[in-house]
Amino acid sequence: MKQLSILVPARNEEFLQQTIDDIFLHSELGDKLEILVGLDGWHTKLKKRPNLRVFESTNVLGQRATQNALAGISEAKYIMKLDAHVSVSQGFDKVMLEIMEANPNIVLVPALGNLHVYDWLCPLKHRTYQGKVDKCGQCDSKDLTKELVWKISSKLYSDFYFDKDLIFQFGDVDNFEMLHETKAIQGSGFLVSRENYWKWQLCDESWGSWGQMGFEIYTKTLKNGGKVMATRKAFMGHFFRKVDEFPYSRSQEQIDGAYKKSLELSGVK
């Protein structure tokens, strides 16, 4: 029986293979870990390897429904959701499970930093940082190619909060304790017992396909008597994309609907 299932819902994700390879490279659980990938309404060819299971849906289900489908397949004691564009620290899984075993009623997140995924290169080998660009930042050449970097920023955060609009923010003054409570999570990576995932209804599909997942998880955990903790003993890098860089469309109506559900959950009118 697996001890940890890592759930990776993915839709049109360019760096999914790199993410899978990264997780296996840095895992120290061996056969006690599995990765469950949900291809949400699309197909891509992934390298076959032990402890990797890939599930495809013909129609787009949405991130929450895909994530729940993967959680329903898992029989592991713990589940960890990761975005399909992240990198993790060495032994992240072993370190985080040791904390979970000592603190069963928590949601645990690793310290978080930016993932430098790629640079744009022009024929003169000038580098332009990742993002949606139309020309070289140094010579204005429009002949650009991507070169993979895949490096986590040395600046790591483990103190977070939600602003007045319920948007995730990094703390102004970071907390360097190895394990401490935090006032928010970003939603790109969190670990919880499978039992509490379902008991606390941490991924309610009535919120819609996408949006407000971090606030939902954080608030429901506290309402059910749990705590949201961050550890600096493990860390991850996340590819922070701008709105116009998303590989799929997101309706404003759906985003507004998720925000309304969060307001209802928080009791704010």
Number of H helices, E strands in the chain: 6, 13
Domain end: 149, 167, 190, which one? Answer: 149
Is 213 within 8 Å of 62 (Cβ atoms)?
no
**Predicted local distance difference test score (pLDDT) of residue 232:** 95
Co-location of 108 and 190 in the same domain:
yes
Domain end: 99, 133, 149, which one? Answer: 149
**Predicted local distance difference test score (pLDDT) of residue 210:** 72
pLDDT tens-digit series, residues 17-66: 999 999 999 999 999 999 999 999 999 999 999 999 999 999 999 899 99
* pLDDT over 70 (residue 250): no
Question: CA neighbours within 13 Å on the CB side: how many for 141?
Answer: 14
Report residue 258's pLDDT band, with 50, 70 and 90 as the boundaries. confident
Co-location of 260 and 134 in the same domain:
no
**Predicted local distance difference test score (pLDDT) of residue 160:** 94
Instruction: Give the CATH number of the domain where residue 254 resides.
Output: 3.90.550.10
User: Structurally, how many domains does the chain consist of?
Assistant: 2
Burial bucket for residue 269 (CB in 10 Å: 0-12, 13-18, 19+): exposed
Co-location of 135 and 255 in the same domain:
no
Co-location of 85 and 142 in the same domain:
no
* Phi, psi angles (nearest 5°) of residue 207: -70, -15
Co-location of 211 and 231 in the same domain:
yes
Co-location of 124 and 201 in the same domain:
no
Co-location of 155 and 98 in the same domain:
yes
Range of the domain at 156: 4-117+150-266
Instruction: Tell me what the pLDDT averaged over the chain comes to.
Output: 92
Co-location of 49 and 92 in the same domain:
yes
**Predicted local distance difference test score (pLDDT) of residue 245:** 66
Co-location of 125 and 251 in the same domain:
no
Burial bucket for residue 264 (CB in 10 Å: 0-12, 13-18, 19+): exposed
Co-location of 51 and 177 in the same domain:
yes
Is 115 within 8 Å of 85 (Cβ atoms)?
yes
Co-location of 172 and 112 in the same domain:
yes
Co-location of 228 and 133 in the same domain:
no
